[in-house]
Amino acid sequence: MDDLIGLVFGTYPSWSHLVVRVVLGIIFFAHGAQKTFGWFGGHGLSATIGGFRQMSVPPAATVIAAFTECFGGLAMIVGLLARPAALGLVAVMVVAIVKVHGKHGFFLNFSMAPGKGHGYEYNLALMAMALSILIGGAGAISIDRLIVPFGD
């Protein structure tokens, strides 16, 4: 049981993980709150479900993705269950690349070329940040660190 608790909550006292975790949390919370609650200029859950239906994403999967972004982002900000949240965020980014961004290539569409969406470089960067937290834990100043401190 101690191994499972360490696997879920364990974290090194890394200040760099703190920075990555908080920034990642802010990004995902903001995007998730747009999808879930319509905050920050978003359209809310029902509109998100409608938009994702056009990409053949089932409503249940859309709700899971929106909640994972929103509440996974909050988990990152406070550093509670950061590793499981990171795993969920990685999964959301993999699906985003496969279902939406992969077909547009690597780069973002800064020129706003008609008929071409953004590539997957942004998703890849977010996935790398989440993988960093999945591997090393939440870092310094986290609730996870209060639960299972190791690596001092």
What's the mean pLDDT in 6-34? 94
Predicted local distance difference test score (pLDDT) of residue 17: 95
Rounded Cα gap, residues 106 and 48, in angstroms: 24
Q: pLDDT grade, residue 138 (50/70/90)?
A: very high
| HSE toward the beta carbon, residue 141, CA cutoff 13 A | 10
Alpha helices in 10-120 (DSSP H): 15-37, 44-53, 59-78, 82-96
Q: Is the pLDDT of residue 31 over 60?
A: yes
Continuous segment of H or E residues that includes residue 150: none
Rounded Cα gap, residues 57 and 133, in angstroms: 27
* Domain residue ranges in the chain: 15-145
Q: Which pair of tokens denotes residue 73?
A: 């982002």
Residue 101 is classified by DSSP as I
- pLDDT, tens digit, for every residue of 79-127? 999 999 999 999 999 999 998 898 988 898 888 888 788 989 999 999 9
